[in-house]
Chains A and B, each alone.
Chain A
Amino acid sequence: MVDLPARGRGLATVATRRPLVAVTAVVGGVMALHLVWMLLVADSVQFARLGTLLWDGLMRGLVIGLAGIGLSMTYSILNFANFAHGDYITSGAFVGWGVTYLIAGFGTANWGDLLLVGAAGDVYGPQLGIGITASPVAILVGLVIAALAAVGIALLVDRVVYRSMRDAGGIPLLIASVGVAFALRYLVAFVYTQSNRGTTSASGVPQWSVPMIDGTLGVTGHDLTLLVSSVGLMLGVHVLLQRTKLGKAMRAMADNKQLALVTGIPTERVVRWTWIIGGGLTGAAGYLLVLWRGTLTFQFGWLLLLLIFAAVILGGIGSVYGAIFGGIIIGLTMSLSQLWIPTDFARAAAFAIMILILLVRPEGLFAGRTTA
Chain B
Amino acid sequence: MSGETGSGWGNDVVKIVVTFAVMYAVYFVLGLIAGLPLQGIFATVVQLTLLIALYAMLTLALNLHWGYAGLFNIGIVGFMAVGAYTMLIISKPPASASAAAVIGGFGLPFSVGVVGAVVATALVGFVVALPALRLRADYLAITTIAFAEIIRFTFQSGTFSEFDLFGTTVGTGGGRGLLVNFEDPITTYVLDSGAFAAAVDWIEAATIGGNLQPVMDTAVVATVLMAVVAGYYWLFRRTGESPFGRVLKAINEDEDVARALGKDTSRFKVKSFMLGCALMGLAGAFYAMYFLGSVNPTAFKPQFTFFVWVALIIGGAGSNTGSVLGAAIFVGVLLRGPLFVKNVIETFVDIGSAPPTIIDAVAALGTLDVTPVIAYTFENISLFRIIALGVVLVWLMKRRPSGLLGHRKETAAAIPLGRLRPVGDAEPAADGGGSE
Contacts and interface: CB of A to CB of B under 8 A. Distances in A.
Contacts of A164: 398
Given A175-B397, A344-B153, A355 B143 contact: yes
Interface in B306-358: 306, 309-310, 313, 356-358
Interface string B126-155: 000001001101110111011101100110
Given A112-B359, A178-B309, A183 B158 contact: no
Contacts of B396: 179
Contacts of A181: 390
Contact of B398 (A165, A178, A347, A354): A165
B383 interface: yes
A171 B401 CA distance: 11
A213 interface: no
Given A170-B137, A355-B131, A359-B134, A347 B153 contact: yes
Interface in A155-211: 161, 164-165, 168, 170-176, 178-187, 189-191, 193-194
A271 interface: no
Contacts of B387: 182-183, 186-187, 190
A139 to B, nearest CB: 23
B360 interface: yes
Contacts of A310: 146
Nearest to A350: B146
A102 interface: no
Main secondary structure of the interface of A (DSSP, over half): helix
Interface stretch (A35-43, A62-70, A114-122, A228-236): A114-122
Contact of B394 (A116, A180, A306, A347): A180
B360 to A, nearest CB: 7
B386 interface: yes
Interface in A334-355: 342, 344-345, 347-348, 351-352, 354-355
Contact of A191 (B141, B358, B360, B395): B358
B156 interface: yes
Interface residues of B, number: 47
B393 interface: yes
A182 B357 contact: no
A309 interface: yes
A194 B358 CA distance: 13
Contacts of B145: 306
Contact of B139 (A184, A185, A194, A313): A313
A113 interface: yes
Contacts of B358: 116, 119, 190-191
Contacts of B141: 81, 174
Nearest to B70: A171
Given A80-B138, A113-B357, A342-B158, A183 B383 contact: no
A119 B137 contact: no
A98 to B, nearest CB: 10
Given A194-B383, A347-B149, A347-B153, A161 B398 contact: yes
A161 B395 CA distance: 9
Interface in B276-315: 306, 309-310, 313
A141 interface: no
Given A352-B150, A358-B135, A359-B131, A186 B357 contact: no
A362 interface: yes
A172 B131 CA distance: 24
B213 to A, nearest CB: 36
Nearest to A312: B142
Contacts of B143: 354-355, 358
Contacts of B208: none
Size band of the interface chain A makes with B: 35 or more
B390 A186 contact: yes
Contact of A120 (B134, B142, B357, B394): B357
B384 interface: yes
In the complex, which of the residues A120, A181, A186, A354 has the most CB atoms of chain B within 10 Å of its own CB atom? A186
Contact of A112 (B147, B357, B395): B357
B211 interface: no
Interface string A346-372: 011001101100110010000000000
B72 A348 contact: no
Contacts of B242: none
Interface string A289-327: 000000000000000001001100100000000000000
B380 interface: yes
Interface in B246-273: none
A359 B143 CA distance: 10
Interface in A82-123: 112-113, 115-116, 119-121
A305 to B, nearest CB: 10
B138 A116 contact: no
Contacts of B391: 179, 183
Contacts of B397: 165, 168, 172-173, 175-176, 179
In the complex, which of the residues B147, B153, B313 has the most CB atoms of chain A within 10 Å of its own CB atom? B153
Contact of A161 (B72, B150, B392, B394): B394
B383 A190 contact: yes
A115 B391 CA distance: 26
Given A168-B401, A344-B153, A351-B150, A180 B390 contact: yes
Given A113-B357, A119-B357, A347-B149, A186 B386 contact: yes
Interface of B: 72, 131, 134-135, 137-139, 141-143, 145-147, 149-150, 153-154, 156-159, 306, 309-310, 313, 356-360, 363, 380, 383-384, 386-387, 389-398, 401
Interface of A: 80-81, 112-113, 115-116, 119-121, 161, 164-165, 168, 170-176, 178-187, 189-191, 193-194, 306, 309-310, 313, 342, 344-345, 347-348, 351-352, 354-355, 358-359, 362
The 8 closest A-B pairs by CB, nearest first: A183-B390, A179-B393, A182-B390, A112-B359, A344-B157, A179-B394, A351-B146, A176-B397
28 contacts: A112-B360, A113-B359, A119-B357, A119-B358, A121-B356, A165-B397, A165-B398, A171-B72, A171-B138, A175-B393, A176-B393, A179-B310, A179-B389, A179-B394, A182-B306, A182-B393, A186-B386, A187-B387, A189-B380, A313-B142, A342-B157, A344-B153, A344-B159, A347-B149, A347-B153, A354-B143, A358-B135, A359-B134
Given A175-B397, A179-B389, 16 more contacts: A116-B359, A119-B358, A165-B397, A176-B394, A179-B392, A182-B390, A182-B393, A183-B386, A186-B383, A186-B386, A344-B153, A347-B149, A348-B153, A351-B150, A352-B150, A362-B135
